[in-house]
Amino acid sequence: MAKTVLDRADAVRALAGVFRRRGFEGGSLSVIQQETGIGRGSLYHFFPAGKTDMARAVLEQVSDWFDERLFTPLRSAGDPRTTIATAFGEVADYFVSRERVCLFAAMTLGEEQATFADAVRTYFTDWVDALAHALRAGGLAPHDARTHALDAVAAVQGGLILARAYASDDTLLGIVSRTERRLLEALA
């Protein structure tokens, strides 16, 4: 029996879980219905363009979370060391609580890669740029700040892959912690 969904945001949260577990291609409409408990009529009411519309809504929700919790604070005028430490705490909590999956990275793996390319590129560009901004505010030269930021985001993304392979939150938490420490040492 299909469950009652109060609003589109509830549906997006449920869909995010399916895409995390199954990816875009593995999340067929039947699987989506079964795993979310949302009926076909409700899904098409909230997402008239179908599964691609569902995935875009999930990516938008994730992007909004990162913008609010990471990107905007990293671009703020606050103390760069505190801002970076807080941001990496948020990153660790976010990915551990969401099955060690970056949905943006997952969307680059399948045949639908081109469909989500702009959203994926924007997400990673925003992350690197926001982190580089905080590093520049902490005194690093622009090129050094960008290099450190790019390496840090790459380390987190690689950490997600290893953490999933090892089924270990500790793997991810260790990588995030060491990456944060390297950034803070670069500011010293």
CA distance 188 to 184: 7
Is residue 22 domain-resident? no
Which residues touch 173 (CB under 8 Å, ≥6 apart)? 92, 96
Give the span between the Cα atoms of 150 and 84, in whole angstroms. Answer: 14
CATH number, residue 132 = 1.10.357.10
**pLDDT 10s digit of each residue in the chain, 188 long?**
555 556 888 899 999 988 888 888 887 888 999 999 999 888 999 999 988 999 999 999 999 999 999 999 999 988 999 999 999 999 999 999 887 888 888 877 777 778 888 999 999 999 999 999 999 999 999 999 999 999 999 999 999 999 999 999 999 999 999 999 999 999 98
Q: Is residue 99 part of a domain?
A: yes
Query: What integer pLDDT is reported at residue 3 of this predicted model?
Result: 56
Q: Report if residue 114 sits inside a domain.
A: yes
C-alpha radius of gyration, the chain, whole number: 18
- Residue 42 counted as domain residue: no
Domain count, the chain: 1
CB atoms within 10 A of CB 175: 19
CB 135 within 8 A of CB 186: yes
Domain around 157:
58-187
